[in-house]
Chains A and B, each alone.
Chain A
Amino acid sequence: MRVNVTVNGVQREADDVWPGESLLYVLRERLGLPGSKNACEQGECGSCTVYLDDVPVCSCLVAAGQAEGREVRTVEGLASDELHPVQQAFVDKGAVQCGFCTPGLIVAAHDLLERTAEPTDAEIREALAGNLCRCTGYEKIMDAVRAAAAKKAGVV
C-alpha cells in the first residue's frame, strides 16, 4: 500500500508498504529518518518516541497506515541550524552516553516543556518514566531537563 504522511513539515509518500509495518519502520527504512530508535519495538523503552499530530507516541506501536494523512514530527525535525534548547542541554550536561535512548528522551522532554514550563523534579521523573536509559543512571538527564527548562523560562 501507499502511505502519505507529513514528516517534519514535508509531505512524504512511501510505496509498497506491507500493512504490518510500523510507523517506526517506515520512518527508518523507507523515508531515510533513522533518528527514532528501535530498542524494543514493543512500546516499553520510548526510544522511538515521535509526535503524531502533536501527541507523543511510541512509533513502534503505530501501524504505518494509521499515520495516513497525519503529521509526524521526529527528533530530526526539532533542530534548525542550531540545536533546540533541550538538545543543547543534553549535550552540555553530559546526558548522552551511548545515545540510543537519547532521541526518544529528547522528544519526551521537549513535550514536557511544551506543557509545563517549570516542572518540578517529581514532574520530570513522571514525564520521562516511559523512557529507558541504560548508560547514564538518569542523573544527568535530570540536570539537562532542569537546565533546558531554566533556559526556556529565561532564568539563565
Chain B
Amino acid sequence: MITGGIGESPLRPDGSLKVRGQYAYASDLWLENMLWGATLRSPHPSARILSIDTSAALAMPGVHTVLTYKDVPGENVYGLKFQDTPVLAEEIVRYQGEPVALVAAEHPETARQALKAIKVEYEVFDPLLDCELVAHSPEVSPLHPGGNLVRYQRIVKGDPDATADVVVSGVYEIGMQDQAFLGPESGLAIPEDDGVHLLLATQWLHVDQKQAAKALGLPVSKVKLTMSGVGGAFGGREDLSIQVHACMLALRTQRPVKMAYNRLESFFGHVHRHPAKMYYEHGATSEGDLVYVRARLYFDGGAYASKTPVVVGNGTTLSVGPYNVPHAHIEGWGVYTNNPPCGAMRGLGAVQPTYAYESQMDKLAAALGMDPADLRIRNAMSEGSTTVTGQVVDFPAPVAELLQRVKDMPLPDASTSNILQLPGGASNTTHGEGVVRGIGYGVTIKNISYAEGLDDYSTARVRLEVIDGEPVATVHTAAAEVGQGLNTVQQQIARSELGVQQVILHSTDTDVGDAGSSSASRQTYITGGAVRNACRAVRAKLQEMAGTSEELTSQQIAAVLGSAVIEETREYHHRRTYPLDPENGQGNAHVQYGFSAHRAVVDVDTELGLVKVVQLDCAQDVGKAINPEAVIGQIQGGSAQGLGLAVMEEIQVADGKIRNPSFTDYLIPTILDMPPMNIDVIERPDPHSPYGVRGVGEPPTISATPAIANAIRAATGLELPRVPIRPEHIVEEH
C-alpha cells in the first residue's frame, strides 16, 4: 500500500532539516577560499556618469578586484521581456540603486569599505516620475531609445459607449508593494571547467542561465546553475540580481565568490509590485445587472521593463473581474519612469484592478441599495461565460458559490472589551470607545500560467531502479521549490503514478531541461504534468518488460526490474493560447483561471485610525487539491500578503527615492496582525489540466485586499480610494 500519494498531505521532505537549522539556503553557502562580492549602487534616480575611479578601492588591502561596465565580458544588457537592463550602468543611471560597480574582497566589511572608496562623478538630472503624464506624452524625455511607453493595450467588447440606469465611478490608487521574502538575494559562484558554476536562490534556473551566459560571453553549456535553498520568492526572484555579478567576480579572480544582500540592499536589488492609478466607471440596470465597464489603468514600471508588458496584459484582460459584462472599453498603459523598477509579484497585474473593481462593486451596491455580496453573486461569471477578450470559459467557474460560501461562514463575536483583541492591542489605546465594526467582500479572477501565446512548458526526468530490494524512483526537474511545497507535490505524483513508495528528488539544476518559472501559480499544473508524463513513460516501459498492462505491486516491480534501470524524460505543454488583437484586445489569451473570494471583518478605532482585522475568511476553487494541507497554507499565507497591502505595506517613494528600505519602516504583518481564518477549499476539476488541478498560489493574495478595504469603508463610511489605508486616511477624512 503506497502512502503519500495524490490527494494526501504527506510532510514536506525538507521539513526536518529546516526546523533543525540544517537546510542550506543560498546565503549559507561557504567555501574555504571564497571571497565576498559587493555592489556599488547609484544614489541618484537619474544621472549621467561622468567618471568612475576605482584606483583607491583597488589599492585597499584585502580587495581582489573592482569591476565596472568595461569588465562585462559579454553583452552588457539583459531583461525578461525587453533587453533593456545593463548588468552595470554605462553612461546613464535610471533609478536609485542601479548597480554601477562590483568589488570582491576577503571580508564583507572590506568589500563595503572598498565601495565607499570608489569615486563616481555624476551629472544629476531631474527624475521623470509621473506615470500618467508619461503615458500620454511618451516621447518626452525618453529614458530608453524607443520612448517611455512599454505597452499600451486596449480592449473593446460590445458597445464601448453603452449607457445604463445607474452609474458609479471612482479613481483608485495602489501603493508599491514589496515581496519581502525573508531570505535575501544570495549566491556562490565557483570558477569551473573554463566556465562557472553558480549556486543560488531563484525562481527559474534556465532563464537566469540564458541571460547570464549572454552577459558573460560564454556558451550556455559553460554556465551551470544549481538551486540552493530559497527563502521565499513571490515574484521577487524572477529578475537577475547577483547572478551575473557574482559570476563576473569569480571569473575575474578565479576564486569562489559569495554575494549576499542585506535587507537594505534587497529593497534595491529586486523589482517591486507596480503602483497603479485606475479610473473606473460601472454602469448597471436598476435591477443590478452590469451593463458596462469603462476603465483606464496606469502602471508605473519604473526604470526597466521587467514584467511590465505582462502586467498590462493581465491587468487589462482581467480588468472587469469574474463578472458577466456585456460591454467594455478598457485601456492600460505601462511606462518607464525613474521610479524603482517594478515587475513580478504574486498576483501579477491582477492585484491592482481587483482592488479597483471590487471597490466599484461596493459603490454600485450602495447606489442600488443592494447587499454587496448579493450584487456580486447576481453578476458572477460561470462556466460558459465570455470574458472581455471574447474567451469562452470552458471549465468550471464557481464564482457565485465561492461568494455564497464565505457569506455563510460564522461571524465572530461582537467586539470585546479585551484590549488585546481591539485595535492597538497591547498598546492599550482603547477599551472600545470609538471602535466600529465593518464587514467587506472581495472576489477575484487570476490567469494561471503564462499567457498570450507563450509556451511555458516543463521537463521532468524520472528514473526507476531497485535499491536494497526495493523500487526507488528519482525525479529530476529544474523547477524551483521556493517554499510552496512543489517538491512534495512531485513526490506525490511519482508515488501515485508509479506505485512506488520511495521517491528521491534529484538536485534542482540545469542538467535537465527547462521547467519554466515558479510563478503564475503554474508549477503544480505544468511541472506536475511533466512529472506525470515522465512517470507514465517509465510505467509503460516497465509494463512492456513485464508483458502486462496490469498495475504492479512494489514487489512485482522489483522482480521485473532486477538490475535494470528505466529512465525517461518528458515535457508537458499546456494548451495553446493566443496573442491579443492589438486593436480591440480580443483573443483566447489565457490557459486557465483561478478564483477566490474573501470576507473580512474589521474593527476600526475611528479616533486613532487603527484597524484590527478580526477575521478573514476565504473560499477558493483549486480544481483538485494534490496536497490539501499545502493548499490551506497557500491560502493563509497569500491572504496575509493581501492584508499587508490593505493596511500597512508600501514602499514609500519620494523624488524617485525609497524612503523606507528596512523592516523597521516597511511593515509586513506579524502574528498579531493576522486573524484566524475560516477556509473552504472546493474542487471542481478543470478538464484541460493534469488531474484537474487549478493554480492555487496567487488568488488569495488578490481578493483579501479589497475585502479588507471594503470592510473598513463599511465601518467608517469613508471613500478611502487608496491602499494601503493608513491611520491618517481614516482620521483626517473622518
Interface of A toward B, CB cutoff 8 Å? 18, 20-21, 28-29, 32-42, 44-45, 47, 74-76, 78-79, 83, 87-88, 90-92, 94, 96-103, 106, 122, 124-126, 128-142
Contacts and interface: CB of A to CB of B under 8 A. Distances in A.
B727 interface: no
* 8 nearest CB pairs, A to B: A35-B21, A98-B483, A100-B231, A99-B18, A137-B636, A137-B640, A34-B28, A44-B663
A50 B670 CA distance: 20
A117 B664 CA distance: 31
B21 A100 contact: no
B231 A139 contact: no
A40 B663 contact: yes
Interface in B421-444: 421, 426
B637 A136 contact: yes
Given A100-B182, A142-B671, A134 B641 contact: yes
A142 B636 CA distance: 12
Contacts of B260: 38
A76 to B, nearest CB: 5
Given A28-B28, A139-B677, A98 B181 contact: yes
B484 A83 contact: no
Given A44-B664, A97-B633, A134 B180 contact: yes
Given A42-B263, A94-B630, A125 B672 contact: yes
A36 B183 CA distance: 12
Interface in B542-594: none
A92 B11 contact: yes
B21 A98 contact: no
Given A44-B663, A97-B483, A135-B637, A37 B182 contact: yes
B30 interface: yes
A100 B672 contact: no
B674 A139 contact: yes
Given A34-B30, A83-B16, A139-B674, A76 B11 contact: no
Interface string B386-427: 000000000000000000000000000000001011000010
A132 B263 contact: no
Contacts of A33: 21
B663 A128 contact: no
A100 B637 contact: no
A74 B21 contact: yes
23 contacts: A18-B109, A20-B109, A35-B21, A37-B27, A38-B184, A40-B262, A42-B263, A78-B20, A79-B20, A94-B11, A94-B632, A98-B182, A98-B183, A98-B230, A98-B483, A99-B23, A100-B183, A101-B182, A122-B421, A134-B180, A137-B674, A138-B636, A142-B671
Interface residues of B, number: 63
Given A79-B19, A132-B663, 5 more contacts: A21-B109, A91-B15, A94-B9, A98-B232, A139-B636
Interface centre among B19, B233, B632, by most chain A C-beta atoms within 10 angstroms, is B19
Given A44-B664, A137-B640, A141-B671, A91 B16 contact: yes
Interface string B260-291: 10110000000000000000000000000000
Contacts of A34: 21, 24-25, 27-28, 30
A21 to B, nearest CB: 8
A141 B671 CA distance: 9
Interface of B: 9, 11-12, 14-16, 18-25, 27-28, 30, 107, 109, 180-184, 229-234, 260, 262-263, 418, 420-421, 426, 482-485, 629-630, 632-633, 635-641, 662-664, 668-672, 674, 676-677
Main secondary structure of the interface of B (DSSP, over half): loop
A45 to B, nearest CB: 6
A94 B633 contact: yes
A102 B15 CA distance: 10
Contacts of A20: 109
A83 B19 contact: yes
A75 B17 CA distance: 11
Given A97-B485, A129-B671, A140 B636 contact: yes
Contact of A133 (B22, B107, B182, B418): B182
A106 B234 CA distance: 23
Contact of B483 (A45, A91, A99): A99
Nearest to A128: B671
A3 B229 CA distance: 30
B703 to A, nearest CB: 14
A143 to B, nearest CB: 10
A40 B181 CA distance: 10
Contact of B640 (A99, A103, A138): A138
B232 A139 contact: no
B420 A35 contact: no
Contacts of B638: 137
Contacts of A142: 671
Contacts of B482: 98
B30 A129 contact: no
Contacts of A18: 107, 109
Contact of B25 (A100, A122, A137): A100
Contacts of A106: 19, 21
Contacts of B636: 136-140
Contacts of B184: 38-39
Contacts of A137: 633, 635-640, 669, 674, 677
A132 B632 CA distance: 19
Contacts of B24: 34
A111 to B, nearest CB: 15
Given A99-B14, A135-B232, A139-B676, A42 B662 contact: yes
Contacts of B663: 39-40, 42, 44-45, 132
Given A98-B183, A136-B637, A44 B672 contact: no
A129 B670 contact: yes
A133 B672 CA distance: 12
Contacts of B418: 122
A39 to B, nearest CB: 4
Nearest to B677: A139
A42 B20 contact: no
A52 to B, nearest CB: 16
A22 B609 CA distance: 38
A53 B184 CA distance: 29
B21 A96 contact: no
